[in-house]
Amino acid sequence: MSLSRQAVLWLSIFFGINALSSASEIDVTAPAAEIGHGLVQGYLHDQKPINSVVFVPIPPEKGSKLQAADDAISQDTMKLRGSARWDLAAQDAVLTFPEAAGIFQCSLRMKITEKRTPALYRLLQRSLTDFGLATYPAKKAYERPRPFLVNGEDICTPGELELLKTDGSYPSGHSAIGWGWALVLSQLAPERAEQILARGRAYAQSRIICNVHWKSDTEAGMSVGSAAFARLQNNALFQATIAVAREEISQKLGEDVDEKTCEAENAILASGN
């Protein structure tokens, strides 16, 4: 029995996954059911939803000092329109798979694909739903207008304009997902944690640069991502998948990295543009 199967079996017993007779009965790489809007069933689908209204602060009020700070940061990032950093922010906005699996490949130093790293790929795909949906109780409660509706400026993903007009700005769902993934990947590859967390923060920054979120939206989104990450630690299937994904990383870390792409990304992030 391989280490990954031993780990999955131990986790299945410890967390009580239906008295499995062997670890092979848990296929952590199996495709998850589609739930619509490009999402698949998350790990927390059968649990009480995370109520983000309870723990994220009320968004800044119009005319407040906090809103003035959001305005100033939004205005400052306007200088990045049309730059390489603007283009990277547009790429970061894409959360469909397989494209989304490549967001952290440079900071992780490993290419993530469904064929090459099936457990890690599925881990990102399913947890996206958990991180993103956790923002919606607060989104619906506050229905905060997005920056482009206030300042009238362009966004980096014009094809999403109509959809974003009716989707609340606070908290940022992308930021919850990006930061949640950064926490997951740091858990799996602690030797790359600093680089992964830096990329997670830059990912949230991309939402401000795109003119689709305020700074406070991204901060609240990261808090929601952290809350969902904490909840996932008690989910048996998530932990079973983590065990297999950790072995995939141990075997493939540093392989198949596009050095030119990563050098360019690092230069863009280092310069801010």
Quick: pLDDT tens for 177-193: 999 999 999 999 999 99
Q: What is residue 273's predicted lDDT score, i.e. its pLDDT? A: 58
- pLDDT computed for residue 39 by the predictor: 92
Q: Please give the pLDDT value at position 258.
A: 86
- Strand (E) or helix (H) holding 36: strand 34-36
Give me the CATH code for the 35-271 domain, please: 1.20.144.10
User: Residue 38's pLDDT is what?
Assistant: 83
Q: How confident is the model at residue 31 (pLDDT cuts 50, 70, 90)?
A: confident
Q: Which of 85, 122, 174, 246 is catalytic?
A: 174
Could you tell me the residue ranges of all domains in the chain?
A: 35-271
pLDDT at 1: 32
Note whether 267 and 86 are within 8 A (CB): no
Sorting pLDDT into bands at 50, 70 and 90, what band is 12? very low
Instruction: Report d(CA 211, CA 214) in Å as an integer.
Output: 8
Quick check: is 217 catalytic? yes
Statement: residue 101 has pLDDT above 70: yes
Q: If you average pLDDT over residues 77-88, what whole number do you get?
A: 95
Catalytic residue among 122, 144, 199, 207: 207
- The whole model's pTM is what? 0.89
State the catalytic residue, choosing from 192, 213, 231, 246: 213
Q: Is 144 a catalytic residue?
A: no
What is the band of 50 on the pLDDT scale with cuts at 50, 70, 90? very high
Helix or strand run (H / E) with residue 265: helix 259-271
Active site residue 45: no
- Mean pLDDT, range 86-106, rounded to an integer: 96
37 included as an active-site residue: no
Of 70, 199, 217, 231, the catalytic one is 217
